[in-house]
């Protein structure tokens, strides 16, 4: 969950709360063009993107890797080898280090009169052959893999989507495209040779991810006990050789207090992110007057309701009652794989989340959001990593994972956390990945909650169904032995 942490020192006590941060990334730079200059240089320029505050700079990627950072909407790449061809993409960022996605690719050849703004016009007299055997295969709810047979003499391929140049593939005969779930996309491919001879475009193929279902990507295991036993509890996504170290299948009719707290560690009265719920600490306040936790012998449901008038004083005058669980001071982990199988609630103002949080209030103070969803858009979930550097909050973009209606059925949400690597999964399929040396090495604990309102989710309204129900089948964690 996106947050800034403030520390308030009262004697020897440290209390924590959170304030609003700019988390809106800039739009993707468009109209990226590359043109060859006469001195073995290439000029790259683009249109300024939109941002809710202001764009402060651009990261330039050359031939697939980070190359430099500039503040203007153009730069000149100097000292290139005559005849060398280079591809460029641009990422915009703002003062809060929110980063856009990469732009489309622009390409140019140094010291040649012909440059490539996107793709060049095919040379039909060349020796490159037209690619054949195109196939579009679903990777997951918002990714398609386009594959084709290799073409004679080709050193690369230009990809066209819906009739327009899209990107260039310099090695291999496939690429994965991020798309909107359920939308048709038409692809063609043209090959090119080392001397810049281009084939005609291939026959087209249509791709659509709407065929993804739970039967395609989810291998459920109904086995499981309250005992930690990796031979009885499996997951489609847990890495080979990992052992189960935490498991709650919620097969009973009450919270297991050896595993869970029913409050955040900073107390029930702290309001974060402008949220409108009061988390009922049913373990420490069994006579509160309402429990947000329901059990049916197979699942736990966190339910949220408008606060009854007679409980508003006890609920810190928050307009809604809900529940949160954490393993703080009961279970922590450093690296591993965690997974939840759940049905997320749909409705404006609902904000279900499953996440990991730092165990100590110093150093990088990391947070890994395994899954978050805004109930107003129930076919989209988010994945994010937050940490601090030199006292400043740093966050990845909120990576998106489009799919079916996540409120209509159970799905699994997982993360694999390793040194320098975080990988997010939905239904056992990798959806997003972050590789960086700033990935935390600190111990973290598990949290699951149903928030309402706040600056990101907006407030519930008359369309929000109550009670709102966040139903969880299991929560598990694995680690290397």
Which run of H or of E encompasses 432?
Answer: strand 429-435
Q: Rounded to whole angstroms, how far apart are CA atoms 404 and 210?
A: 8
Question: How distant, in Å, are the alpha carbons of 35, 62, 78, 82 from that of 110?
Answer: 8, 13, 9, 5
Question: CA-CA distance, 237 to 41, in Å (whole number)?
Answer: 47
Residue with tokens 């909650």: 449
Instruction: Name the one residue in this structure whose structure tokens are 């100097």.
Output: 78
Q: Residue 151 and residue 130: Cα distance in Å, rounded? A: 7
Question: Is 147 annotated as catalytic?
Answer: no
**411: its two tokens:** 């799905």
Cα–Cα distance, 457 to 439 (Å, whole number): 27
Backbone angles phi, psi at 94, to 5 degrees: -110, -175
pLDDT at 227: 34
Q: Exactly one of 33, 143, 275, 372 is catalytic; which is it? A: 372
Find, among 397, 353, 355, 356, the residue nearest to 373 by Cα: 353
Catalytic: which of 285, 339, 367, 435? 367
> What's the pLDDT score for residue 21?
63
* 221 vs 276: CA distance, rounded Å: 36
Q: Is 372 a catalytic residue?
A: yes
Mean pLDDT per 10-residue interval, the chain, length 481 residues: 36 36 78 80 84 86 87 86 88 86 84 43 54 84 85 86 80 86 84 76 81 32 32 56 92 91 85 88 92 92 94 93 96 95 96 93 85 94 91 88 92 94 92 89 94 90 92 94 78
CA 252, 255, 260, 263 torsion-angle sign: positive
Cβ atoms of 470 and 450 closer than 8 Å: yes
> Which residues is 337 bridged to in the sheet?
416, 478
The Cα 137–Cα 147 span in angstroms is 8
Domains of the chain: 1-117 (2.60.40.10), 132-212 (2.60.40.10), 243-479 (2.60.120.200)
């Amino acid at each position: 969950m996106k947050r800034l942490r403030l520390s308030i020192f009262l004697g020897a006590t440290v209390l924590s709360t959170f304030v609003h941060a700019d988390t809106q990334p800039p739009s993707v730079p468009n109209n990226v063009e590359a043109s060859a200059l006469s001195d073995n240089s290439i000029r790259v320029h683009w249109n300024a993107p939109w941002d809710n505050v202001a764009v402060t700079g651009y990261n330039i990627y050359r031939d697939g890797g980070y190359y430099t950072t500039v503040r203007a909407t153009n730069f000149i790449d100097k000292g290139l080898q005559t005849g060398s061809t280079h591809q460029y993409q641009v990422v915009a960022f703002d003062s809060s280090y929110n980063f856009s996605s990469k732009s489309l690719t622009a390409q140019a050849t140094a010291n040649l009169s012909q440059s490539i703004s996107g793709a060049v016009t095919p040379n039909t007299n060349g020796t490159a052959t037209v690619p054949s055997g195109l196939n579009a295969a679903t990777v997951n709810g918002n990714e398609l893999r386009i594959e084709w047979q290799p073409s004679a003499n080709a050193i690369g391929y230009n990809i066209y989507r819906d009739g327009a140049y899209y990107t260039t593939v310099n090695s291999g005969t496939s690429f994965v495209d991020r798309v909107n779930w359920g939308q048709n996309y038409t692809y063609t491919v043209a090959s090119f040779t080392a001397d810049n001879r281009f084939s005609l475009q291939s026959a087209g193929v249509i791709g659509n991810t709407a065929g993804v279902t739970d039967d395609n990507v989810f291998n459920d295991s109904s086995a499981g006990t309250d005992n930690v036993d990796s031979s009885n509890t499996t997951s489609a996504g847990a890495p080979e050789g990992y052992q189960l170290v935490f498991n709650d299948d919620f097969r009973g009719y009450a919270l297991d207090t050896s595993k869970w707290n029913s409050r955040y560690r900073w107390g029930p009265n702290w309001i974060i992110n402008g949220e409108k719920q009061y988390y009922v600490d049913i373990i420490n306040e069994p006579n509160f007057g309402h429990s947000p936790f329901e059990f049916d012998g197979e699942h736990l449901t966190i339910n949220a309701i408008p606060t009854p008038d007679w409980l508003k004083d006890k609920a810190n005058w928050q307009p809604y009652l809900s529940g949160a669980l954490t393993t703080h001071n009961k279970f922590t982990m450093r690296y591993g794989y965690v997974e939840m199988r759940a049905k997320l609630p749909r409705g404006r103002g609902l904000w279900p989340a499953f996440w990991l949080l730092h165990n100590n209030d110093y150093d990088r103070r990391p947070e890994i959001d395994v899954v978050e969803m805004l109930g107003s858009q129930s076919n989209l979930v988010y994945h994010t990593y937050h940490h601090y550097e030199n006292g400043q909050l740093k966050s990845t973009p909120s990576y998106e994972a489009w799919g079916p209606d996540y409120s209509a059925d159970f799905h699994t949400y997982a993360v694999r956390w390793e040194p320098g690597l975080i990988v997010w999964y939905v239904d056992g399929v990798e959806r997003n990945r972050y590789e960086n040396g700033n990935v935390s090495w600190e111990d973290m604990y598990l949290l699951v909650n149903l928030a309402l309102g706040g600056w990101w989710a907006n407030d519930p309204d008359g369309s929000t169904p109550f009670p709102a129900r966040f139903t969880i089948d299991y929560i598990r964690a694995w680690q290397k032995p």
